[in-house]
Structure 1
Amino acid sequence: MKKTLFALITFFYVGISCSSKAKTIDTKSSLSDIKSTPETIILYKNLKKMTQKGILFGHQDDLAYGVNWKYEAGRSDVKEVTGDYPAVYGWDLGGLEKKSPNNIDGIPFDKMRQFIKDAHRRGGVITLSWHFDNPLTGKNAWDTTPKSLTSALPGGESHEKFKSWLDEAAKYILTLKDKNGKLIPMLYRPYHELTGNWFWWCKNNGSPEEFKLLWKFTIDYLQKKGVHNLIYVYNTADFKTKEEFLEYYPGSDYADILSFDNYQYNDPTKDNSFVENCQRQFKIMNEVAKEQNKIMAFAETGYEAIPYDKWWTNSLMKAIGDYKISYVLVWRNHGWQEKEKKMHYYAPFKGQVSEKDFVDFYNLDKILFEKDAAKENLYKK
């Protein structure tokens, strides 16, 4: 009886949600949120145009800390090497669900708010992810206890708790305003790396229909709470075929940008699999993007501690190839990890072995940092 009731709820919600959106949105030219703020629409259109000029470079947590420093005003490992900030800044909302003062990386949400405002004021682009806790068990995002995903769905045992978590996210996002009091347009990458098996929302923890319902409910709920300044990024881990990339896809009227995450793990001088896998994935994603008139991105990548001195101009640029993508973002510069007894960073700092190559990467015509983004006035018509 419970399964039958859940199926009816799912069918009713998805059916109503999809049919109502299909009547009101032109997926070939519009954002998925039909009530998007004018500023968000402008950013989206400009990001689309920018793919013809080059690739915006991004870095996670760039302004908050770097290797051997934390919370120093105006500081950035990227800026110290290149003289310029990244064009894209990644931040994580993990921690909001439990009303923590700090996010999952230890950054106070109050500081993060100011970092977001500062970057936006200079012309940078903000992208958000959310490593939120498992709604069924209360453990972290990496807890893959069975039925965790379904518990968050309408009719599920954690649904009301899950809605309260979305309330906290909506409240925070609605505080992210520019100097004129207007909401800052941002990219939001819900349920990232969904084709993996390491988060409670990944494909091993729910059927395609259940995942699509989770995605659609999340987006619709945030919009009901007045959040209309987000551009939604569909994000996978590895995939081998077009069918696999689209299996859990919520539909073109619920996503604005297509992306995947892929990291370098093996020595690129001995193993070319990173480049080959990225090229395979870009080829597939590019086909979908053309069919649906979507923007593409390389939402997360990197080579921990960057031991190869030509990784930027050789490995990364070959991995992207000639594909026209909106941005590429490398992960955070945490620095020394006491528990693992190793350094953890993905952008170079002064004196790091790939520093010179990163400057060469910065100087490539098709690679764009914040000064380039500012010149393009991404937030103006």
Structure 2
Amino acid sequence: MTIRTLCFLTVLYMTMQSFTADVIAQPIDKKASKETKALYKNLHTVTKKGIMFGHQDDLAYGVNWKYEPGRSDVKDVVNDYPAVFGWDIGGIEHDKKENLDNVPFDSIRNYIREVYGRGGINTISWHLDNPVSLGQAWDTTKAVASILPNGKAHQKYLLWLDRVAGFLESLKTDQGVYIPVLFRPFHELNGAWFWWGETHCTKEEYITLWRFTVDYLMNKKNLHHLIYVFNTNSFKDEAEFLERYPGNNYADIVSFDVYQFAAANASKAALKKSSLQFQEQLKDNLMVLTAVSKRKNKPAALAETGFEALPDDTWWTQTLFPAIKNFPIAYVLVWRNHGLNSENKMHYYAPYQGQASAEDFRQFYRSGKMLFLKETGKLKLYQ
């Protein structure tokens, strides 16, 4: 082989690699805004630097505080914000002023703008009420078939989608730039607790609902700043994970949710056993997820996780970090810090100042693998 031939083949290989990367980095929306395309590309490449850390409702409230500008339980502990901020729009379908957790939608909109301005990422879930019974998302009265085209509640669902679209369309900067968001509807689809769960609708009904929703928001409402996140709960194998996958043209990110549980006042031995079981489950699921991610050229994420009230003060470095550190996932998000709930029970998933796992969380922060806002802000994810 001549040097000229070798050089030609090298250039050809590099060109093909570049072309493949460009193909990989395209969201399903062919009209996606340039900021959305840039974010999607960076969700692919950020895994080379580490895993972004996320927290639900981080700016809105924390343990023993609410609506204090600039405050965050995460920031109180590590002097840095999460890289990913989760929000929920449950209640928007009824045109309410506040979501299901009593956070005003006007505030959520402002938080989303603030996060974008700092270079962070916003992800939105939707715990929508049951459209047939009008109970909450956890009311499992059968409803999916009713809201599909030609169903009895289809027009109601269209109204609800219009209200969702109205909120999403309002997510703009003062200069009129649409803020990209990761939209995660109908999540934990293989669970039984939501009315869209697998025991309450057929595979075909779920896929039809997903595809209709994406088509409506993208093509009917002309929203081109959404990145669509397909999400299951923990699963036993790849077949279960992909059973209701809507197809590569209808999902941008693949993800799942999984939480650790233990009995109240569990002993150290019981907590250790729980942690080992959780790690094994998490690793098994991440192995499947990242294999699917690579094959389908979709970024992967651990969209929800956590251990309520963090009874294990080394959970961050001894349980979560060892389980996720070797997997190419774009982000991991822990659930919200509500504080004392109506059942007189502490409900939080990130440490707050003085909480037992706070020092361990600082070690987790300093691991060099976890990415928070100071680091991701430098990456210019939207360019």
Normalised to the residue count of structure 2, the TM-score between the two structures is 0.90
- Counterpart of 1:196, as a letter, is G
Among residues 353, 357, 371, which one is paired with 1:354 in the alignment? 357
Whole-angstrom CA distance in 2 between matches of 1:374 and 1:61: 19
2:303, 2:172 → 1: CA distance? 24
Identity %: 53
- Are residue 68 (structure 1) and residue 76 (structure 2) matched? no
Q: Does 1:176 align with 2:180?
A: no
Quick one: distance in 2 between partners of 1:370 and 1:102?
Answer: 27
Residues of 2 paired with 1:260 and 1:192: CA distance? Answer: 8
CA contact (8 A) 1:59 1:332 kept: yes
Q: C-alpha separation between the residues in 1 aligned to 2:46 and 2:166? A: 31
Q: Note if contact 2:25-2:37 (Cα within 8 Å) is conserved in structure 1.
A: no
Alignment partner for residue 211 of structure 1, among 200, 206, 210? Answer: 206
User: Structure 1 residue 93: deviation in Å?
Assistant: 0.7
Check conservation: 2:25, 2:44, Cα contact below 8 A: no
Q: Work out whether residues 97 and 165 of structure 1, in 8 Å CA contact, stay in contact via their aligned partners in 2.
A: yes
Distance 1:179 1:268 in 2: 49
Q: Which of 36, 40, 48 does residue 36 from structure 2 map onto?
A: 40
Matching residue's letter, 1:122 = R
Give me the CA root mean square deviation: 1.1
1:361 and 1:90 map into 2 onto residues whose CA distance is 20
5+ residue gaps in structure 1?
1-25
Match of 1:220 among 212, 215, 219: 215
State the partner residue of 1:81. 77
Aligned equivalents of 2:356 and 2:320: distance in 1?
Answer: 16
Match of 1:334 among 315, 324, 338: 338
Alignment of 1:131-142 (within 5 A): 131-142=127-138
What amino acid maps onto 2:62 in structure 1? G
Encode CA deviations 1:10-35: one digit per residue, 9 max, x unaligned. Answer: xxxxxxxxxxxxxxxx9744211111
SS at match of 1:204: coil
Give the secondary structure class of the aligned counterpart of 2:199. Answer: helix
Asked if the contact 1:27–1:252 (Cα under 8 Å) also holds between the matched residues in 2, the reply is no
Equivalent position amino acid for 2:178 in 1: L
What SS does the corresponding residue of 2:322 show, helix, strand or coil? helix
Contact 1:128 1:189 in 2 (8 A): yes
Structure 2 regions of 5+ residues with no counterpart?
1-21, 263-269
Letter in 2 for 1:296: A
Residue identity in the other structure for 2:123: T
Whether the 8 Å contact between 2:325 and 2:369 is mirrored in structure 1 is: no
Matches within 5 A, 1:72-151: 72-146=68-142, 148-151=143-146
Residue in 2 that maps onto 1:367: 370
Q: Which runs of 4+ in 1 moved over 6 A?
A: none
Q: Secondary structure in 1 aligned to 2:227?
A: strand
Shift of 1:207: 1.1
For normalisation by structure 1, the TM-score amounts to 0.91
In structure 2, C-alpha distance between the alignment counterparts of 1:192 and 1:27, rounded to whole Å: 27
- Looking at structure 1, the residues matched to 24 and 73 of structure 2 have their Cα atoms a distance apart, in angstroms, of 39
Deviations 1:212-264 (A, max 9, x none): 00000000101120211011111000211111111000011111111000001
Bigger Rg, structure 1 or 2 = 2
The Cα offsets for residues 357-378 of structure 1, whole Å up to 9 and x where unpaired, read as: 0000111111000001101111
For the pair 1:195 / 2:199, whether they are aligned, the reply is no
Task: State the number of aligned residues.
Answer: 353
